[in-house]
Amino acid sequence: MGKLVWDESYSVGVNILDKQHAIVFEMLNNLMERDDITVRSEPLTAALTTLTTYAAKHFKTEEQLMKEYGYPKFNEHVKTHMQFRLKIIELSNEMLYHKESVPVELFAFLREWWSNHILQEDMQYKAFFKEKGLE
Ligand SMILES: [Fe+2]
């Protein structure tokens, strides 16, 4: 699986959020590069916990800004974050209980989700925040 490289095409125009997105990409790359990761391994659980904890922090930052500035698609956007959390729990459980192999499916989901979420959902607030003078 190729690396996720954060570049300007992922910029949502808000520094703190861009920074957090780039960190998420770094964390995903580190996770996917590890070769000591198997389904029931301690490192996988630890890396996933670190990632989901950071994701939660990031979602909170994003949602707080949306709330503060009255983003019209707030509820809709929060729902996508919630779906991410649920999907991670579902995939983690599924893999812990039913699979022995390295979780390619989980990595693929993470990679796809973050890339698509930023480019499709997050991008929708770019113009809104810009208009509000946020950078
Ligand atoms: Fe988001």
Spatial separation of the C-alpha atoms in residues 55 and 52, rounded to whole Å: 5
Which residues place a Cβ less than 5 A from the ion ligand 1? 62, 122
Domains, the chain, in order of start with CATH, read: 12-131 (1.20.120.50)
- For residue 15, pLDDT over 90 is answered with yes
Contact call for residues 89 and 49 (beta carbons, < 8 A)? no
pLDDT tens for residues 92-129?
A: 888 877 777 667 888 899 999 999 999 999 999 999 99
Spatial separation of the C-alpha atoms in residues 122 and 71, rounded to whole Å: 12
pLDDT value of position 66: 98
Please give the angle made by the CA atoms of 108, 116 and 55, to the nearest 5 degrees.
Answer: 75
pLDDT tens for residues 42-85?
A: 778 888 889 999 999 999 999 999 999 999 999 999 999 999 99
CA of 24 to the centre of ligand 1 (A): 12
Rounded mean pLDDT of the chain?
91
CA of 119 to the centre of ligand 1 (A): 10
Q: Please identify which residue in the block is written with the tokens 């959390």.
A: 85
Spatial separation of the C-alpha atoms in residues 71 and 14, rounded to whole Å: 14
Spatial separation of the C-alpha atoms in residues 58 and 31, rounded to whole Å: 18
- Judge if pTM exceeds 0.85: yes
CA of 65 to the centre of ligand 1 (A): 11
